Amino acid sequence: MNMTNIVAILILVVIIAWAVKGTVSHFKGEGACCGGGGSEVKTKPRKLDSVKSVKIMTIKGMHCEHCYTRVHNALNSIEGVNANVQGKRGRAVIKTDRDIDDEVLKKVVTDLGYEAEEITVK
């Protein structure tokens, strides 16, 4: 085997190892992106006549704009909720005009595959 073949094989091994590592991270939810496309449009949060509570939800697993948009739209689909997802901060600021159980809010996020860690009242 000549030196050119050895170098080519080493380069291929490095590329394959890097690809496998990225794939494993992706399936563990640690990758740089959820793999989603940019086709989902962020919905406008509903205007609330009054604000009964403001909650901060800490969310793990959002890695890109697509992730933020999915969580934003899901939370804002709940009647009585006006949510603003701050993806880079890993949280959502949730305003409500009525009593909404924290478990309802968490379920919407976890059903999308993200981890709702904590909800605090502001």
Identify the CA nearest to 59 among candidates 103, 111, 115: 115
- 90 Rama sector, left if φ>0, alpha if ψ -120 to 50, beta otherwise: left
Q: Which domain holds residue 8?
A: 1-31
Global confidence as pTM: 0.71
Does 100 score more than 90 pLDDT? yes
State how many domains the chain has: 2
* Residue pLDDT, tens place only, 51-74: 999 999 999 998 888 889 999 999
Q: Domain of 114: which CATH number?
A: 3.30.70.100
Instruction: Identify the three-state secondary structure at position 43.
Output: coil
Based on the fold, state whether residues 62 and 114 are members of the same structural domain.
yes
Based on the fold, state whether residues 17 and 60 are members of the same structural domain.
no
Q: Is residue 89 assigned to a domain?
A: yes
Instruction: Identify the three-state secondary structure at position 50.
Output: coil
